[in-house]
Amino acid sequence: MPMRAIEAVANFHCVTGENPLWRAAEGRIYWEDIETGRLFRAAHSSGAHECFFHGDRVGGFTFQADGSLLLFEENRIARLDADGVRRVLADGIDPHMARFNDVIADPEGRVFAGTIGSSDENGGLFCVERDGSVRLLWRGTGCANGMAFTPDGRGFYWTCSTTRRIFLADYDRATGAVTNRRLFYVAPEAEGIPDGMSVDTNGDVWTTRWDGQAIYRLSPRAEVIERVELPVAKVSSLAFGGSDLDVAYVTTAGGTGTHEGGPEGTLYRITGLGVQGQPEHLSRIWL
């Protein structure tokens, strides 16, 4: 087993650090602070980091195939080009949402986008098709959260933070259909709240814990393989990065959103995990 190490990459004291996403073409990890509307990036090799955009609250984002970023904001979708120009593409998508939350692109370029509802029952999951049309997949949560695909491309994980449950569904790449949703794992209260996730090439699920100070590694049979402890309580999401996708970048929350504060809101990276992540997909919305 390689020697494991956890190190701080950048501390922007994020109120809600989220959505780490590896951009292989640049060798950089991107992430955000939802509440302050800031987007960040850091070079894997040097650790050099910056805040490169500051705007409205962003619940999640994807990389588009043309190099732009697709921003899922409070109740709208916007495009952010490399020159920093932001353009709203769709607005007023769902009157029941407080804002978008976790999002993920699928192999065909669609985007699955979760929402935080205005109540504990009307948040849900939407699918944004490549032509920009939006369809509701389901409601019934206050906070839709982490998603990931199984290595064989036939399964789709989705997290309901409100009920501390992770679900597994059948996924059809050709149509984008998500069917036969069933319970995969229920997190005991002592673990904290399931938040963002990623799935490695072995099929193991790496799921973070808000107010749980940890990442849990689950087998495809929902067995707890290990618990990786972080230095702060609110561990929000993770993504695999590096040239071999063998480094986990982990976002945290609870910071001040200013230049002052403690370690809360730091982006960490973990080496020596002994696993390899799957490449993330590019979205192709309105392209």
Which has the minimum average pLDDT: 54-63, 73-82, 115-124, 150-159? 115-124
Can you tell me the distance from the alpha carbon of 272 to that of 104, in angstroms, rounded to the nearest whole number? Answer: 26
Helix spans in 54-204 (H): none
The pair phi, psi for residue 94, each rounded to 5°, is -150, 115
Q: With pLDDT > 90 as the criterion, what percentage of the chain qualifies?
A: 98
Q: Which domains does the chain have, with CATH numbers?
A: 5-271 (2.120.10.30)
pLDDT band at 152 (very low <50, low <70, confident <90, very high): very high
Q: What DSSP line would sit under 143-183, residue for residue?
A: BEEEEEE-TTSSEEEEEETTTTEEEEEEE-TTT--EEEEEE
The DSSP 8-state label assigned to residue 191 in this structure reads G
Instruction: Look up tokens 């509701």; give the residue.
Output: 136
**Which of the four pLDDT bands, split at 50, 70 and 90, describes residue 119?**
confident
Q: Residue 104 CA to chain centroid, in angstroms? A: 7
pLDDT higher than threshold 90 for residue 120: no
- Strand blocks (E) in 13-110: 17-23, 28-33, 38-43, 49-54, 60-63, 69-72, 76-80, 86-91, 97-105
For residue 223, what are its two tokens? 């067995």
Structure tokens at 178: 């998500």
Reference 161, options 119, 184, 192; nearest CA is 192
Catalytic residue status for 81: no
Rounded to two decimals, the pTM is 0.97
| Residue of 33, 94, 106, 195 marked active site | 195
- Eight-class DSSP state of 45: T
Looking at residue 1, its pLDDT comes to 59
Going from the C-alpha of 112 to that of each of 62, 137, 165, the distances in angstroms are 10, 9, 18
44 pLDDT exceeds 70?
yes
